[in-house]
């Protein structure tokens, strides 16, 4: 009797010539080599590749010298440990290293709680890289025991859904995407902000404000943290705009606006001191809904301002730019309002001088717009984003908001302010 390996299937040919196909672990085929049937483990013990039989296996391609790999690995350790507790025998990760030498491998692998292909087995590592077309790291390929199709965007899946993505199959992925779009369709303020343990948000007076009492208002969800430098610049601006909007609305009396801080502060003390500077409401520090909201709105960086309409649906996830561009006039942040503001800007621009000499710059500045040399920019005076109209230096690219220009006489002899808008 002899056996041969063919595509993860052991073909057993018996003495009478009748062959029989026995399914062996596809992982042996992928992860073992001619003279190695084991993987490394953190304890140093060898783990047989066939022990992976029946599990979901993530192949992690990475290297210590690339910072995004270090960041992702750290995150994956958390997910891995959680899954080891909840489904101890169903998930494994195997590290496929692109480290430059054995020392680098050993020190990076020293932080990982999962298995690894030995650093010296270049051939297997190369074959895996080729088989899965790995072009960039970190890369996480999810293999299913009983599905020949792998899921390739494990990195994004883990970032976006965390342990919820388990077992990382295509079916699970489709299900999660369906849930996401359903959640967006059925989005209401209570299902965004409350959960079965908490039906309120915090206020400064120490009172718990019921989420139900916010229904029907325009709500800003402010993703921010004390440690974030751009937040430190944006928060005072948002506070001033908030007060102006509240003031205007209190005179009208029919609409209402509120902001809820969704903090990613690292401890209660920083949350407390940061929230103390703000006049609005907040989700409690470390609340489990915070992670869900970050995922739901695909928050990619802070500060980030999402605006929810009175019907509980999302109006915009670009509240920050709208505040920067239009301040309190941006309220209620709807498309119709933004279109109206854009038109207004066009009208106002007609009265602007086409050329100014600005006190903060040594060259002339030209008025430009989207269709005419302009585009999105960062204002050199206020450091905030701008779009459409700007004053731009054609020599060095210096660009400012029209509202930030302080025009002066070119000769600077007398600092007559010609335009101060």
Which residues of the chain form contacts with Zn ion (CB under 5 A)? 363, 379, 381-382, 393, 395-396, 398, 401, 404
Whole-number minimum distance, CB 360 to Zn ion, in Å?
10
Query: Do 320 and 221 form a contact (C-beta atoms < 8 A)?
Result: no
Task: Give 287 or 384: the residue with its C-beta nearer to Zn ion.
Answer: 384
Neighbours of 347 (CB within 10 A): 9
Taking phi over 0 as left and psi of -120 to 50 as alpha, with beta for the rest, 146 belongs to: alpha
- Is 220 exposed, middle or buried, given 0-12, 13-18 or 19+ CB atoms closer than 10 A? buried
Task: Give 290 or 380: the residue with its C-beta nearer to Zn ion.
Answer: 380
Task: Give 5 or 355: the residue with its C-beta nearer to Zn ion.
Answer: 355
Which DSSP string corresponds to 28-69?
HHHH-BTTB-EEE-TTS-EEEGGGGTTSEEEEEEE-TTSHHH
Give the up-direction half-sphere exposure of residue 122: CA atoms within 13 A in the CB hemisphere: 4
Task: Give 143 or 404: the residue with its C-beta nearer to Zn ion.
Answer: 404
Query: Which of 7, 8, 299, 26 has the alpha carbon at shortest distance from 141?
Result: 26
Residue nearest to Zn ion (CB): 379
Which DSSP string corresponds to 287-309?
-HHHHHHHHHTT--SSSEEEEE-
Whole-number minimum distance, CB 372 to Zn ion, in Å?
18
Rounded Cα distance, 209 and 220, in Å: 15
Task: Give 331 or 357: the residue with its C-beta nearer to Zn ion.
Answer: 357
Task: Give 267 or 383: the residue with its C-beta nearer to Zn ion.
Answer: 383
Task: Give 98 or 327: the residue with its C-beta nearer to Zn ion.
Answer: 327
- Would the CA dihedral through 75, 198, 239, 313 be positive or negative? positive
Task: Give 55 or 361: the residue with its C-beta nearer to Zn ion.
Answer: 361
Whole-number minimum distance, CB 26 to Zn ion, in Å?
59
Whole-number minimum distance, CB 295 to Zn ion, in Å?
33
Rounded Cα distance, 420 and 406, in Å: 6
Whole-number minimum distance, CB 302 to Zn ion, in Å?
21
Q: How far is CA 295 from each of CA 139, 183, 271, rounded to the nearest angstrom?
A: 20, 12, 21
Whole-number minimum distance, CB 323 to Zn ion, in Å?
13
Whole-number minimum distance, CB 395 to Zn ion, in Å?
4
Whole-number minimum distance, CB 402 to Zn ion, in Å?
9
Task: Give 13 or 378: the residue with its C-beta nearer to Zn ion.
Answer: 378
Q: Helix (H, G, I), strand (E, B), or coil: what is residue 358?
A: strand
Whole-number minimum distance, CB 365 to Zn ion, in Å?
8
273-307 burial code (b ≥16 CB/10 A, e <16): ebbeebebbbbbbebebbeebbebbebeebbbbbb
């Amino acid at each position: 009797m002899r056996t041969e390996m063919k595509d993860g299937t052991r073909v057993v040919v018996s003495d009478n010539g009748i062959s029989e196909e026995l399914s062996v672990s596809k992982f042996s085929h992928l992860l073992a080599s001619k003279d190695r049937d084991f993987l490394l483990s953190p304890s140093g013990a060898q783990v047989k590749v066939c022990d992976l039989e029946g599990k979901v296996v993530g192949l992690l391609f990475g290297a210590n010298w690339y910072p995004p790999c270090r960041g992702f690995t750290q995150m994956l350790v958390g997910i891995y440990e959680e899954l080891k507790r909840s489904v101890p025998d169903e998930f494994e990760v195997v590290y496929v290293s692109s480290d430059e030498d054995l020392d680098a491998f050993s020190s990076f692998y020293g932080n990982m709680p999962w298995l690894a292909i030995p650093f010296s087995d270049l051939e297997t590592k190369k074959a895996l890289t080729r088989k899965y077309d790995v072009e960039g790291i970190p890369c996480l390929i999810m293999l299913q025991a009983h599905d020949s199709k792998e899921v390739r965007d494990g990195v994004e899946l883990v970032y976006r859904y965390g342990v919820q993505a388990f077992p990382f199959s295509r079916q699970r992925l489709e299900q999660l995407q369906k849930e996401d779009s359903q959640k967006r369709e059925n989005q209401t303020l209570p299902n965004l902000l409350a959960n079965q343990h908490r039906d309120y948000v915090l206020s400064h007076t120490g009172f718990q404000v019921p989420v139900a009492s916010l229904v029907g208002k325009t709500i800003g969800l402010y993703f921010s943290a004390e440690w974030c430098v751009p937040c430190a610049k944006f928060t005072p601006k948002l506070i001033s705009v908030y007060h102006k909007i509240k003031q205007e609305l209190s005179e009208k009396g029919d609409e209402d606006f509120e902001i809820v801080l969704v903090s990613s502060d690292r401890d209660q003390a920083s949350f407390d001191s940061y929230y103390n500077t703000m006049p609005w409401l907040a989700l409690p520090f470390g609340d489990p809904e915070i992670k869900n909201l970050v995922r739901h709105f695909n928050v990619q960086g802070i500060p980030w301002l999402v605006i929810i309409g009175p019907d509980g649906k999302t109006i915009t996830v670009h509240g920050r730019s709208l505040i920067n561009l239009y301040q309190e006039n941006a309220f209620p942040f709807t498309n119709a309002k933004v279109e109206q503001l854009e038109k207004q800007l066009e009208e106002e621009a007609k009265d602007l001088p086409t050329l100014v000499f600005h006190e903060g710059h040594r060259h002339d500045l030209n008025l430009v717009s989207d269709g005419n040399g302009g585009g999105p920019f960062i204002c050199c005076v206020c450091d905030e984003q701008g779009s459409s109209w700007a004053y731009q230096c054609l020599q060095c690219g210096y660009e400012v908001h029209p509202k930030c220009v302080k025009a002066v006489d070119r000769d600077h002899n007398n600092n007559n302010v010609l335009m101060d808008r």
